[in-house]
């Protein structure tokens, strides 16, 4: 009887909750990625971009989605598997514009949200790489790569076709840049053209007489553009190139009339540092942009400049705010400018009063990636160390954020993530330094775990509260490791003096911060098994791994160096952006070699002893391939256990889904090999 009762109770008991699977790189690369919200004027509708992974094709595919803010219902607007990107709502919110190569060449398309099929708005002979729709008229500004001396698009098309038909492949250069980021220069420039849909006339080149790329390369996009509210004037960013381009950070903001004979006017010619991202006030009277002050420095503080739209003297808004603005947008009433900026390990949304420069944070913890401003709220794409990006509504003037999208919710509910904590300690010179620690997935109190110290690149960057798609601490947590990340001196979001402090001191203050931060972590978090720890980093982080190999070997069972600098002299003569090296090390190598050699890992190879995994991409022109090969050769010549992972089709980053999975699997296997009990 008792046995039957027990059986009955067993059969009627609630089913056990299935155990969650530890998060892995395969989960990471398959996540849907939310980005680029565009908000209707009434605030009721948002269109946004969603990136999905086509694993078999080894690429990401973008689609356009729409969200009803009131009901929070989302629906796909473009067909699955058909690349559709950079969505922008029309002024009245009735239609969405986007880029798609569905007819062979990438063009601008328009889709009525009431229904129907997408319609091609442009039919140009060259690919459109970016676009913006002028208010009122329906005219479109597009960017295309053209030959600067060609008077027509047909001329550029003929020259592209002739080049493709040639049997010889030699390219002759007489000035730098011969290559930039991941591409060799081919004699073309990205230029801005005004297109009137339906017209048969030749598009009008708005960036006339600009010897530079519009938008700028390699990462410029339509955030470098803006229209006046009446749609008659276009503002854009450009850097005059010529022979100075490899040494110049002098981007400028230009104004050009869309009617008559367009001739750009430089609004920021008095500043020889970077000026970028113009946005025009709703009344059309002022233009604001972000500006650095020091020429030749790419990580200077971005201040906010405001100038009359007709020209004159620009004034800095919130000059005492010691943060660097990363994006700008006006409020509909023109009384406020909104900005995104790094701030103590977070990336927050701020409101800046347009008259007196008063600053107020609108978000707290997390990483704001982009924003779309409405009358009574701002929609942001936001993520953190425990969640990929979702869209949130932030009420104005200030209120608790409200989540609007839930992409990946079902998948993430089945995965075990590590708990996250931000910590601080006294670093170099007793100054406060911050970091994050992520516990292993399935953490059990009383147990100890192997650990990995993650070192960010930049060097002026941050390993903050951000869901990263290449260096994500949760992949290490899923593999059973404690992940520790420290924002050493030189990191962004802690004031410009803190950011500046790394220049010409690459192996000094940052190394001390890492050492003190690691000691603090081991002392504070007793679950770290300090006898089973490795250090890993990319770019500057890879340099630091090479530096650690000769300067701080004792704590580490292994090292991982991705795209790291090995020989500072070789780097100085082979990297493309010369301004970076010369600022960071105090001048040109032949004029100031001691600045480079002081922090050159190659001089300390004789002390290397720690097993190291070296990874490098064949298309990396920022830190050329020979830097990785040099480090691997040094390891092999000394008989130190080492491996070299080479990606012939990747640049400074690993972007292809299957390559990313291989990268993580190789790194995790290396860490486990050297940290097993």
The count of C-alpha atoms lying within 13 angstroms of the C-alpha of 409, restricted to the half-sphere facing its C-beta, is 7
- 179-202 in b/e form (b: 16+ CB < 10 A) is bbbbeebeebbbbbbbbebeeeee
Give me the residue label for tokens 């008077």: 151
Q: Which H or E run includes 48?
A: strand 45-54
3-class DSSP assignment, residue 298: coil
Closest CA to 567 of 593, 536, 534, 537: 593
Cα 657 from Cα 187, distance rounded (Å): 31
Pick the catalytic residue: 539, 616, 621, 660? 539
Cis peptide bond prior to 627, omega within 30° of 0:
no
Do 153 and 126 meet the contact criterion of CB atoms below 8 Å apart? yes
Pick the catalytic residue: 407, 468, 652, 664? 652
CA dihedral of residues 517, 518, 522, 525 (deg, nearest 10): 50
3-class DSSP assignment, residue 369: strand
Do 100 and 85 meet the contact criterion of CB atoms below 8 Å apart? yes
The answer to whether 652 is a known catalytic residue is yes
Cα 175 from Cα 210, distance rounded (Å): 18
289's tokens: 């942009």
CA distances from 420 to 433, 520, 528 (A): 17, 16, 14
Closest CA to 376 of 396, 401, 400, 350: 396
DSSP state letters, 120-179: ES---SS---EEEEPTTT--EEEEEEEETT-SSHHHHHHHHHHHHH-S------SSS-SE
The answer to whether 226 is a known catalytic residue is no
3-class DSSP assignment, residue 520: helix
The answer to whether 642 is a known catalytic residue is no
178's tokens: 């011969």
DSSP state letters, 255-284: EEESSSS---EES-TT--S-EEEEEE-TTS
Pick the catalytic residue: 620, 621, 642, 664? 620
Give me the residue label for tokens 């990297």: 575
- Beta bridge partners, 377, equal 395
Residues labelled catalytic: 539, 620, 652
């Amino acid at each position: 009887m008792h046995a039957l009762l027990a059986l009955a109770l067993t059969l009627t008991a609630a089913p056990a909750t299935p155990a969650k699977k530890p998060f892995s790189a395969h989960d990471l690369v398959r996540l849907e990625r939310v980005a680029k919200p565009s908000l209707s004027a009434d605030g009721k509708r948002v269109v946004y971009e969603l990136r999905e992974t086509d694993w078999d094709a080894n690429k990401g595919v973008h689609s356009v989605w729409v969200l009803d803010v009131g009901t929070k219902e989302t629906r796909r607007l473009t067909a699955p598997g058909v690349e559709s990107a950079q969505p922008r709502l029309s002024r009245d919110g009735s239609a969405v514009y986007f880029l798609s190569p569905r007819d062979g060449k990438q063009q601008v398309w328009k889709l009525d949200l009431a229904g129907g099929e997408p319609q091609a708005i442009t039919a140009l002979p060259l690919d459109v790489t970016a676009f913006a729709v002028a208010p009122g008229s329906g005219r479109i500004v597009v960017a295309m790569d053209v030959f600067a001396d060609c008077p027509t698009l047909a001329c550029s098309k003929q020259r592209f076709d002739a080049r493709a038909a040639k049997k010889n492949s030699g390219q002759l250069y007489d000035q730098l840049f011969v290559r930039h980021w991941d591409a060799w220069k081919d004699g073309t420039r990205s230029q801005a053209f005004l297109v009137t849909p339906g017209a048969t006339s030749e598009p009008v080149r708005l960036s006339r007489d600009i010897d530079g790329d519009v938008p700028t390369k390699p990462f410029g996009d339509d955030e470098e553009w803006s229209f006046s509210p009446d749609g008659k004037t276009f503002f854009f960013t450009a850097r005059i190139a010529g022979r100075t381009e490899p040494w110049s950070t002098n981007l400028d903001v230009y104004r050009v009339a869309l009617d008559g004979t367009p001739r750009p006017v430089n609004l920021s010619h008095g500043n020889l540092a970077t000026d970028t991202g113009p946005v025009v006030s709703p009344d059309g009277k002022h233009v604001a942009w972000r500006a650095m002050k020091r020429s030749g420095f790419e990580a200077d503080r971005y201040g906010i400049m405001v100038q009359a739209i007709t020209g004159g003297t620009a004034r800095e808004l919130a000059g005492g705010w010691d943060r660097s603005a990363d994006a700008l947008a006006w409020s509909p009433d023109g009384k406020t400018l909104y900005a995104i900026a790094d701030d103590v390990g977070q990336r927050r949304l701020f409101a800046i009063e347009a008259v007196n420069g008063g600053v107020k944070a609108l978000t707290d913890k997390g990483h704001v990636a982009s924003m779309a401003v409405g009358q009574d709220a701002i929609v942001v794409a936001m993520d953190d160390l425990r969640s990929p990006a979702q869209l949130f509504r932030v009420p104005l003037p200030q209120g608790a954020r409200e989540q609007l999208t839930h992409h990946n919710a079902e998948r993430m509910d089945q995965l075990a993530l590590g708990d996250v904590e931000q910590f601080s300690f006294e670093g170099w010179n007793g100054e406060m330094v911050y970091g994050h620690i992520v516990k292993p997935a399935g953490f059990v109190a009383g147990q100890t775990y192997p650990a990995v110290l993650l070192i960010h690149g930049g060097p002026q960057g941050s390993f903050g509260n951000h869901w990263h798609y290449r260096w994500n601490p949760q992949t290490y947590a899923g593999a059973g490791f404690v992940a520790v990340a420290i924002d050493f001196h030189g990191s962004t979001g802690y004031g410009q003096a803190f950011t500046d402090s790394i220049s010409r001191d690459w192996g000094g203050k940052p190394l001390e911060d890492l050492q003190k931060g690691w000691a603090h972590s081991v002392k504070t978090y007793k679950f770290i098994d300090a006898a089973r720890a490795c250090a890993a980093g990319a770019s500057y982080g890879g340099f630091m791994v090479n530096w650690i190999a000769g300067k701080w070997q004792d704590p580490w069972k292994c090292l991982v160096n991705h795209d790291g600098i090995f020989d500072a002299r070789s780097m100085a003569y082979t990297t493309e952006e010369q301004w970076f090296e010369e600022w960071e090390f105090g001048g040109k190598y032949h004029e100031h070699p001691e600045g480079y050699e002081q922090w050159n890992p190659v001089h300390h190879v004789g002390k290397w002893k720690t097993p190291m995994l070296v990874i490098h991409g064949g298309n990396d022109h920022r830190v050329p391939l020979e830097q990785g090969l040099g480090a691997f050769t040094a390891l092999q010549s000394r008989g130190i256990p080492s491996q070299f992972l080479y990606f012939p089709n990747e640049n400074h980053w690993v972007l292809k889904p299957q390559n990313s999975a291989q990268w993580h699997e190789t790194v995790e296997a290396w860490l486990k090999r050297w940290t097993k009990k």
